[in-house]
Amino acid sequence: MNSLGNVSISDAIDRYILSINLARSVNTARTYKNGMSLFLLTLTEHKLDLENLLVAELGEEPVSWFAARLKDYSPATERLYLTALAGFYDYIAGENLAEVNLPRIRLLIHQRARRPGIRLPQFPQNDLDTLLQKISDLHTCIAVDEEERLRNLRDRAFLITLADTGLRVHEACGMRRGDLDRNEGRAIVIGKGNQQAVVRFSRRAQAALDDYLRARAALDGASGRPLSSLPLFARHDPGAGKKVKPITTATGRNIVNQRVAEFLGNDLVGRITPHSFRHYFVTRVLQTSGNLKLAQELARHKNIAVTQRYAHLSDNELDKGYWNAIEE
C-alpha cells in the first residue's frame, strides 16, 4: 500500500500516465503525457527539485503557475492540459498519495481556464464536389498492374464512404468486412470514446465497396481467414505482400492527399483532409433536411451545439437575402 507522503512528484506522475495509458485512447494518453511533461517543466522553472519533491508537498500553488504558463498556448490546448492536471490531483487523492482539497483545485482550474472561441467549420465544398465527381470514375482508369487497380478501387470506395457516412478516418480504417450489413445498408462501428454506433451507408458507397471487394476476392480467399474478419479497406502495396492488412489512419490521410493533388492540384493539399469529408456530410444533411437533430444523430455528436456550428453553411437564403438587400 502506498504510504502518504513517501512518493516523489516524478514517480507519481509516471504512475498517473501509466494509468491513463491503460484506461484511455492513445491520443488522449499522448495529450495527457504532453501536458504533464509541461507541468514538470513548470515546476523546474520555479526551482523545485523534482527528484526530492514529495507529492504530499505539492500543494495548490503549482496550479496557478501552470495556468499562467499555459497562456502562451491556445485556449483549447490550455483546457486539455488543465484537465490532465485536474486528473492528476484526482489520482493522487484516490491513491492516497497526498491529502488534496479537490474542490479547491477544481475551483482554481475553473477560474484560470480561458473559454475557447468557437471556430466555424471551413472547407472548400465546391472542390469536394469536384473531387467526388472525378473519383467516381477512378475505376475506369487504366492501371499498370493489379496493385494499382486495387488501389484505385479502394481509394474510390474509401473517399465515397467518408463523404456519404460521416465516418471519422480512424473509424473507416478500423472497419472489418463483417461490420457492414449489406441488407440493411448499415454498419456497426467503434466510434469516439470507444462507443459502439450504427452508421448508414448510401447505395453509392455500397456500390463502390462492391466493385472493390469483388476485385479483391482472390486475395481475400487466399488469406485463409473468415471474410467477416478481414479489413474493409486493405493495403495494396509491395510491403503488404499477399497478406490482407488493414490500412492505417496515416494511409487514410495519404489517400486523401494523393487524390486531392491528382485531381485538384497541390494548392488544396492540406486544405482538404479526411475530416473535411465529415464536414461535407453534416452540411449535406443540413442542406437537404434542415433538421438539426437529424444531423446531430447521424454525425453522432454528443452535443447539439457542435452540430449547430454547421448550420450557417446550410442557410443559402441568408446569403441571397444579404446580396438582394445590400447590393441591389
Residues linked to residue 120 through DSSP beta bridges, in sequence order: none
Cα distances from 323 to residues 276, 318, 319, 320, 327, in angstroms, run: 27, 9, 6, 5, 5
Geometric angle at alpha carbon 237, from 235 and 241, rounded to 5°: 85
Residue 242 is among the residues annotated as catalytic for this protein? no
- Are residues 74 and 82 in contact, defined by beta-carbon separation less than 8 angstroms? no
Residue 46 is among the residues annotated as catalytic for this protein? no
With pLDDT > 70 as the criterion, what percentage of the chain qualifies? 90
**Residue 199, pLDDT score:** 92
The residue among 198 and 239 whose pLDDT is bigger is 198
- Identify the burial level of 51 via C-beta atoms within 10 angstroms of its C-beta, where 0-12 means exposed, 13-18 middle and 19 or more buried: exposed
The per-residue pLDDT for range 256-288, each reduced to its tens digit, is 999 999 999 999 998 899 999 999 999 888 888
Q: 9-112: which CATH number, 3.30.200, 1.10.10, 1.20.120, 1.10.150? A: 1.10.150
Residue 168 is among the residues annotated as catalytic for this protein? yes
Model confidence at 176: pLDDT above 70: yes
Residue 302 is among the residues annotated as catalytic for this protein? no
Model confidence at 38: pLDDT above 80: yes
Catalytic-role residue among 139, 186, 245, 275: 275
Amino acid (one-letter) located at 232: L
Residue 212 is among the residues annotated as catalytic for this protein? no
**Residue 314, pLDDT score:** 55
**Mean predicted lDDT score pLDDT of the chain:** 86
Q: What is the mean pLDDT of residues 89-103?
A: 87
d(Cα 101, Cα 90) in Å, to the nearest integer? 10
**Residue 255, pLDDT score:** 96
Model confidence at 5: pLDDT above 60: no
User: What is the band of 55 on the pLDDT scale with cuts at 50, 70, 90?
Assistant: confident
- The widest CA-to-CA distance across the chain, in whole angstroms, is 78
User: The domain 125-317: what is its CATH number?
Assistant: 1.10.443.10
DSSP-derived pairing of the beta strands 196-200 and 180-181: unpaired
Catalytic-role residue among 278, 279, 284, 300: 278
Q: What is the mean pLDDT of residues 14-21?
A: 91
**Residue 115, pLDDT score:** 63
Nearest to 201 by CA among 177, 221, 225: 177
**For the chain, domain boundaries:** 9-112, 125-317
**Residue 122, pLDDT score:** 63
d(Cα 321, Cα 307) in Å, to the nearest integer? 23
Whether this model's pTM surpasses 0.85: no
**Residue 26, pLDDT score:** 85
Amino acid (one-letter) located at 140: T
Q: What is the mean pLDDT of residues 100-116?
A: 79
**Residue 23, pLDDT score:** 83
- Residue 264 three-state SS: helix
The per-residue pLDDT for range 184-234, each reduced to its tens digit, is 899 988 777 677 888 999 999 999 999 999 999 999 999 999 999 999 999
Catalytic-role residue among 32, 91, 280, 310: 310
**Residue 241, pLDDT score:** 74
Nearest to 155 by CA among 38, 266, 253: 253
The per-residue pLDDT for range 159-173, each reduced to its tens digit, is 999 999 999 999 999
Q: What is the mean pLDDT of residues 10-35?
A: 89
**Residue 206, pLDDT score:** 95
- Are residues 241 and 263 in contact, defined by beta-carbon separation less than 8 angstroms? no
With pLDDT > 90 as the criterion, what percentage of the chain qualifies? 43
Model confidence at 110: pLDDT above 90: no
Residue 145 cell numbers, joined: 498492374
**Residue 1, pLDDT score:** 39
Cα distances from 179 to residues 182, 188, 207, in angstroms, run: 9, 5, 16
Catalytic-role residue among 15, 151, 168, 170: 168
Residue 110 is among the residues annotated as catalytic for this protein? no
Catalytic-role residue among 156, 235, 284, 301: 301
d(Cα 120, Cα 163) in Å, to the nearest integer? 19
Catalytic-role residue among 104, 182, 192, 293: 192
